[in-house]
Structure 1
């Protein structure tokens, strides 16, 4: 397997002011440099050791990420976070994904997730814990028959006195056992005849101990071909009890805005997915960049016909195309992240960047394997890991086909007979 040897020319070399993007600031550049050093020096060696074993993110690595403040990038400074935006969150995630996608993915299980409760004092406490990396969760949205179609969620929550009783089956829940909580999308009632299918959905906060499941909840790990670092679970809820007040609702938590408390489970899930899709685009860029950088090193090492194979025009042109595609997707995800930070609703744009960046990552990592020849089809090189993980990005947070449906529905109205 390739080492953590010298990388190609650093992409953070000083640029003339005229070439800097409009969102560039010295503070963002400093943050990116810290993330890049950490990813290369501390994450990459761990990934090279543990990913072939399907190992888990070590507690020591999680503690270092907490020390750097990265579980609270988007948590307000008054609650102990960095007080930054989705832009910085995605920028750091790209750097981490370049080393090991799971290290970027675990950030999404914090950032104030599972803190949007109605009680202000409790919300402040949970935000502080989230920023410290002491409130890392899991999201249980998908089900065996409801993944792309979340409006079809059937896991049921019934009130019994001061508790919700939850029964149902969830799938694809990453980090469930290791989490401090699981945010569960459930159905509290069936939609009325004039309501949409998403009516009656609610997000509940199931608090738990790390490393175990509470009474009534059982889990089976799903054996994946990639995306190692943490386990992904198939969960069965059989009468799991959750306190009545553990309703997660951003509107209910936004008392500063004077918004009415609603159980808007569907809207909450969609807001989460908008940010998650931009985050996935950033992770995809990190994976593609890893494949490109590894390929540049390999093309200078490998010799055939008396020359480094990097001298051959066909391979040089492949590298040029890979680099251009990565740069395009990076610019796009940063543009959409900037819009999210401005508070602009951008469901269509989030789907667009998720679609383009993830499909790009599959193409680039596939090309990188080809450039490595037979060595690319071994576990001796990192490129096979980048390829396996990139393949998943076109599936989770909504498949590429779902992104196309969202985009086309915003652009092209359906006929009444459809």
Structure 2
């Protein structure tokens, strides 16, 4: 890099785009107010913390989590009678986009509540946990993947063997974000082997491990995974060695764990699409500021048509992906399963975000390849969205299998 690309100290002034008007039939005054509140909170409160803590691989401060709880962000989809906002996937994803624009982990932590881990059989206990979830006092972690079972969750080998009124869990989980800081860990386990002729996913169940925050219970140990991005909370490699959990902590009935995980992933994939849109939007907004700040040949580089056209294409792709995730979220709120559409929007939005944030680095020139600018963080985080909740290749498999069933399958 030449001396002419040396960065000035600090970052370019953040250029916020106007809040897009939610199109019919999605617009309502209530949604508009929620969107503005989330954007103001993200830009005024979250972004400064992200700029300070992300370079240190720091965690989301507990006081910020408490503020998010007061705003209701952990109970967006929890019924009002249980202390939540009583809203749907649309609002959940809309808020996630705004938060992820500032720091993706903050857009992600709200997924660790929303009534997660509350599907226990006892109705009184379920009501108590829903209320705790809505108030930010029941924030969890999800342990699905294993070293040899990530894309193929039917291959989960972590065992839960019944011993009286308890399960004894033994196995190895990987990529469990927020595990130590969580109030619970929702674990996909195998309670029995499939019978001959049954699907490999038969015998899987979901069990909730209740725990104290910032510690692991007896029978569970963890090692942090050192990631290149997605800072804000620690991602863990977990070893279960005889951890005991009450049988009553199993969610649903036996054998439904795989189906439950798949249903959860539909919403999770739209949520990931929304986070990806937030990251890509951040790259666009940061680039707008930089193109006006940086001068070459006695002009702001934003005067040069090649750069203007790249920015225009980036912005158009963000808008396209936003419209798509809003459409799928709306359909989920109408009760449609949308497995294919959730895979489609996850595929398109995350691949878009990886490319658009990369284009943002290019527009920043040499300065984009430094930690002095926020755009490198957006790229690091966006790159992960093409991998978690099912890689882009897994989304392609889901989509193609539903468009073109293989011979001998229905």
Q: What's the TM-score once normalised by structure 2's chain length?
A: 0.96
Task: For 1:57-96, list aligned pairs within 5 A.
Answer: 57-96=60-99
- Determine if contact 2:174/2:236 at 8 Å carries over to the other structure: yes
- Determine if contact 1:247/1:263 at 8 Å carries over to the other structure: no
Q: Match for residue 122 of structure 2?
A: 119
Q: Match for residue 295 of structure 1?
A: 287
Q: List, as ranges, runs of 4+ consecutive aligned residues in structure 1 with deviation greater than 6 Å.
A: none
- 302, 316, 319: which one pairs with 1:327? 319
Distance in 1 of aligned mates of 2:404 and 2:385 = 26
Distance in 2 of aligned mates of 1:263 and 1:44 = 43
Q: For the structure 1 residues 415 and 211, does the alpha-carbon distance in structure 2 shift closer, same or farther, using more than 3 Å as the test?
A: same
Q: Match for residue 27 of structure 1?
A: 30
Distance in 2 of aligned mates of 1:380 and 1:66 = 31
Task: For 1:366-405, list aligned pairs within 5 A.
Answer: 366-405=358-397
- 395, 399, 403: which one pairs with 1:411? 403
Q: Match for residue 258 of structure 1?
A: none
Unaligned runs of 5+ in 2: 1-8
Q: Match for residue 10 of structure 1?
A: 18
Q: Offset of 1:380 from its aligned partner?
A: 0.2
The answer as to 2:334 corresponding to 1:342 is: yes
Partner SS state of residue 214, structure 2: coil
Distance in 2 of aligned mates of 1:414 and 1:219 = 41
Distance in 1 of aligned mates of 2:324 and 2:28 = 18
Q: Match for residue 242 of structure 1?
A: 245
Q: For the structure 1 residues 6 and 157, does the alpha-carbon distance in structure 2 shift closer, same or farther, using more than 3 Å as the test?
A: closer
Q: Offset of 1:272 from its aligned partner?
A: 0.8
Q: After superposition, what is the alpha-carbon deviation per residue over 1:367-392, rounded to whole angstroms, capped at 9, x for unaligned?
A: 00000000000000000000000000
Q: Match for residue 211 of structure 2?
A: 208
Q: For the structure 1 residues 356 and 2, does the alpha-carbon distance in structure 2 shift closer, same or farther, using more than 3 Å as the test?
A: farther
Q: Match for residue 357 of structure 2?
A: 365
Distance in 2 of aligned mates of 1:348 and 1:236 = 34
Distance in 2 of aligned mates of 1:2 and 1:323 = 24
Q: Offset of 1:66 from its aligned partner?
A: 0.4
- Determine if contact 1:94/1:104 at 8 Å carries over to the other structure: yes
- Determine if contact 1:4/1:44 at 8 Å carries over to the other structure: no
Task: For 1:143-222, list aligned pairs within 5 A.
Answer: 143-222=146-225
Distance in 2 of aligned mates of 1:195 and 1:406 = 21
Unaligned runs of 5+ in 1: 250-260
Q: CA RMSD in A?
A: 1.3
Partner SS state of residue 248, structure 2: coil
Give the number of aligned pairs: 401
The answer as to 2:278 corresponding to 1:270 is: no
Q: Offset of 1:7 from its aligned partner?
A: 2.1
Q: Match for residue 305 of structure 2?
A: 313
Q: Offset of 1:9 from its aligned partner?
A: 4.0
Distance in 1 of aligned mates of 2:61 and 2:16 = 28
- Determine if contact 1:166/1:238 at 8 Å carries over to the other structure: yes
Distance in 1 of aligned mates of 2:278 and 2:393 = 22
Partner SS state of residue 208, structure 2: strand
Q: Offset of 1:248 from its aligned partner?
A: 1.3
Q: For the structure 1 residues 323 and 112, does the alpha-carbon distance in structure 2 shift closer, same or farther, using more than 3 Å as the test?
A: same
The answer as to 2:296 corresponding to 1:304 is: yes
Q: After superposition, what is the alpha-carbon deviation per residue over 1:231-279, rounded to whole angstroms, capped at 9, x for unaligned?
A: 0000000000000111112xxxxxxxxxxx5541011101110000000
- 346, 354, 364: which one pairs with 1:354? 346
Q: For the structure 1 residues 245 and 200, does the alpha-carbon distance in structure 2 shift closer, same or farther, using more than 3 Å as the test?
A: same
- Determine if contact 1:144/1:170 at 8 Å carries over to the other structure: yes
Q: Offset of 1:3 from its aligned partner?
A: 4.9
Q: For the structure 1 residues 73 and 183, does the alpha-carbon distance in structure 2 shift closer, same or farther, using more than 3 Å as the test?
A: same
The answer as to 2:101 corresponding to 1:105 is: no
Q: After superposition, what is the alpha-carbon deviation per residue over 1:75-98, rounded to whole angstroms, capped at 9, x for unaligned?
A: 000000000001000000000000
Q: Match for residue 252 of structure 1?
A: none
Q: Match for residue 255 of structure 1?
A: none
Q: Offset of 1:416 from its aligned partner?
A: 3.5
Partner SS state of residue 245, structure 1: helix
- Determine if contact 1:4/1:45 at 8 Å carries over to the other structure: no
